[in-house]
Structure 1
Amino acid sequence: MSKSLLFIVLLFISFNLRAQTWELGGFLGGAGYMGDLNQNNPLKVSGFAGGAFVKRNFDGYFSAKLGYTYGVISGADSTSKSQQARNRNLSFTTPLSELSLTGEFNFMEYIPSVSKSLYTPYIFAGIAYTGYTPKAKYQGQTYDLRELQTEGNTYPNSTIAIPFGLGIKYNIAGCLSLAADLGYRTALTDRLDDVSGLYPDRSKLPSAISVALSDRSAGQTAVAGTQRGDLRPRDTYLFVGFSLSYTFISQKCYY
């Protein structure tokens, strides 16, 4: 779903706040990733993230949330502690565009300005649709790695992902809530970083730029058919940060 279409959906919902159990908010924070260029650090943040959401609160414990988040992840072998990774010398930057639907559970009954609880920890899980475009810089220019077929094949520009995470929210004033959360997304693809399997036969790549960005080792010494990625079937990305939201509450709804 495009950003403009998502904006129309959120705008439509905002004009139909009839149930007084709706919540609108925004998110700002960082994005990170685990995959072929970061195998060991699940908390590494490599870019920014921001978004907006609308939530339907069914009661003080359960809610459903529709959200849009834009983030950027990146990685570079040149910063790795592994000599093997530094020799491989790959790098990428990937903008992510995520539309998600998640269910949320509060451990304490939480209704801003109504319930006795001023804060609550919570957990969430759901499903997401994510667009991604791996890119890399080479000789001062930025290239779309998918188009270059760096492993000798093409792959989709979107994927399904499974979000899950935890957080804590606090009623800062009236119907305003401030929340902090950490959420991981298991993507049903191994190509968020454009790295997945084996080095291809260079003679079958579409261009000289494809060859250059497929094998960035010194002297381009990689042999076709040898390991390029870590051979794990999926990449993971994360969003971490803060959200500020307003809950529409009435006596009719909660008393």
Structure 2
Amino acid sequence: MKLRTLYISLYALLLMLSSIQELNAQIGLSSANSRFEIGLDLGPMSFLGDLGGNRGRGGYGPKDNNLPVTNAIIGISASYYPAEWIGFRLSGNYGKMEGDDRLVKQKQPADTWEGSRKYRNLTFRSPLYEAYAALEIYPTAFISLKNGSGLPRFRPYGIVGFGVFKFKPQGLYKDPAGNESWIDLKPLRLEGQGMVETGIPEYSLVNYAIPMGVGIKYDITERVTFAVELIHRKTGSDYIDDVSNKFIDPALFDQYLTPTQATYAKYLANPSSFYPNSNPAYTPYRTGKKRGNPLKNDSYFSSTFRLTWKIGDVYADWFRNKNSMKCPQYF
């Protein structure tokens, strides 16, 4: 699901929200003081891990974000607001993560930081299923209400929470005839996970995430709000891209895997020699050498557009005054 699909989905999201609002008017759904909101979330998402990146030493920040592997994340949320300046959110999202060493921008030989990552030639993709609970804090709303100036229509906020996510990394395999296919990576134990010789434990496809971010909300009507937010997730896994530690002896694959799996594993663990115009004289990708960075876990972030709809009765008088920049006192 690429960026073109994102804009089509956003248009569909707007139509859906309009239908929900009309349905509410028809059935008279209400809840005291409009303390609940439901929302639809959509936006671009990027993976930050051991694969891909840009010039220089690899990192885990926006510098190493590759636009060609930026995908969409879409989800739903429900929020409860016991006061105007604080809220509690439950959110569920679906997305896709990718990383590709071939996208590393470099003009240097393989024995440089960026060159060694590019010729490593690793690539992956993985679906993302995410659920989290978070706290929303609206500092300007608190200040405005304390000063008796009412609730502002624009409200910046911070968000922090805790959640879980599920992933399933796949690597791109090319057979001798040049045919490409995506292969599940975890069963191949590419870094010796679960092997006696390495002592590295197998990793779980379910782990925790800590979302942290900022956003700004705007009340379009007394019932519909629009928000833009940026959320970064720290995770408890360094294996979202199936890359973390060192290259292992390829002979171990024959010992632990089926013949077909061993064929896949030998290519996917170390496809450096298959990179076009790679330097055969420079081979850092051998047994015992660094394959990833086990000192930093993987992460991912999203820039999300949110449309939310308030459930229950609202006060519309404020909105009839088109010169007003304040929102109603919902509580």
Task: Give the TM-score of the pair, scaled to structure 1.
Answer: 0.86
What is the Cα deviation at residue 248 of structure 1? 2.2
What is the Cα deviation at residue 66 of structure 1? 0.3
Matched, 1:25 2:39: yes
Q: Distance in 1 between matches of 2:216 and 2:42?
A: 15
What is the Cα deviation at residue 42 of structure 1? 2.7
What is the Cα deviation at residue 41 of structure 1? 6.3
Within the candidate set 122, 126, 130, 1:94 is matched to: 126
Contact in 1 for aligned 2:31/2:313 (Cα 8 Å): no
What is the Cα deviation at residue 17 of structure 1? 6.9
What is the Cα deviation at residue 163 of structure 1? 0.6
Q: Distance in 2 between matches of 1:200 and 1:80?
A: 24
Query: 1:57-72 counterparts in 2 under 5 A?
Result: 57-72=81-96
Q: 2:321 aligns to what?
A: none
Q: Deviations over 1:101-149 (max 9, x none)?
A: 0000012228xxxx54111110000101000111122122111111221
Larger strand proportion of the pair: 1
Q: Deviations over 1:19-39 (max 9, x none)?
A: 531100000001112211244
Q: 1:12 aligns to what?
A: none
Please, which runs of 5 or more residues in structure 2 have no aligned partner?
1-28, 106-113, 143-149, 175-179, 194-201, 275-279, 316-328
Q: 2:61 aligns to what?
A: 42
Task: Give the TM-score of the pair, scaled to structure 2.
Answer: 0.67
Q: 2:173 aligns to what?
A: 138
Contact in 2 for aligned 1:33/1:42 (Cα 8 Å): no
Question: Aligned with 2:72: secondary structure?
Answer: strand
After superposition, the Cα gap between the structure-2 partners of 1:138 and 1:251, relative to the gap in structure 1 and judged at 3 Å, is: closer
Question: Aligned with 1:196: secondary structure?
Answer: coil
What is the Cα deviation at residue 236 of structure 1? 1.0
Contact in 2 for aligned 1:52/1:68 (Cα 8 Å): yes
Question: Aligned with 1:211: secondary structure?
Answer: helix
Q: Distance in 1 between matches of 2:125 and 2:183?
A: 10
Question: Aligned with 1:109: secondary structure?
Answer: helix
Question: Aligned with 2:140: secondary structure?
Answer: coil
Q: 1:237 aligns to what?
A: 300
Q: Deviations over 1:154-210 (max 9, x none)?
A: 311110111100011100112110000000000011011110000112111221101
Q: Number of residue pairs matched?
A: 237
Q: 2:248 aligns to what?
A: 200
After superposition, the Cα gap between the structure-2 partners of 1:251 and 1:78, relative to the gap in structure 1 and judged at 3 Å, is: closer
Q: Distance in 2 between matches of 1:47 and 1:17?
A: 37
Q: 1:9 aligns to what?
A: none
Q: 1:213 aligns to what?
A: 268
Amino acid in the other structure paired with 1:172: I
Larger helix proportion of the pair: 2
Q: Distance in 2 between matches of 1:75 and 1:250?
A: 46
Q: Distance in 1 between matches of 2:241 and 2:192?
A: 15
Contact in 1 for aligned 2:141/2:152 (Cα 8 Å): yes
Please, which runs of 5 or more residues in structure 1 have no aligned partner?
1-15
What is the Cα deviation at residue 40 of structure 1? 3.6
Contact in 2 for aligned 1:30/1:71 (Cα 8 Å): no
Q: Distance in 2 between matches of 1:17 and 1:192?
A: 43
Q: 2:191 aligns to what?
A: 151
Amino acid in the other structure paired with 2:296: P
Instruction: Flag the structure with larger Rg.
Output: 2
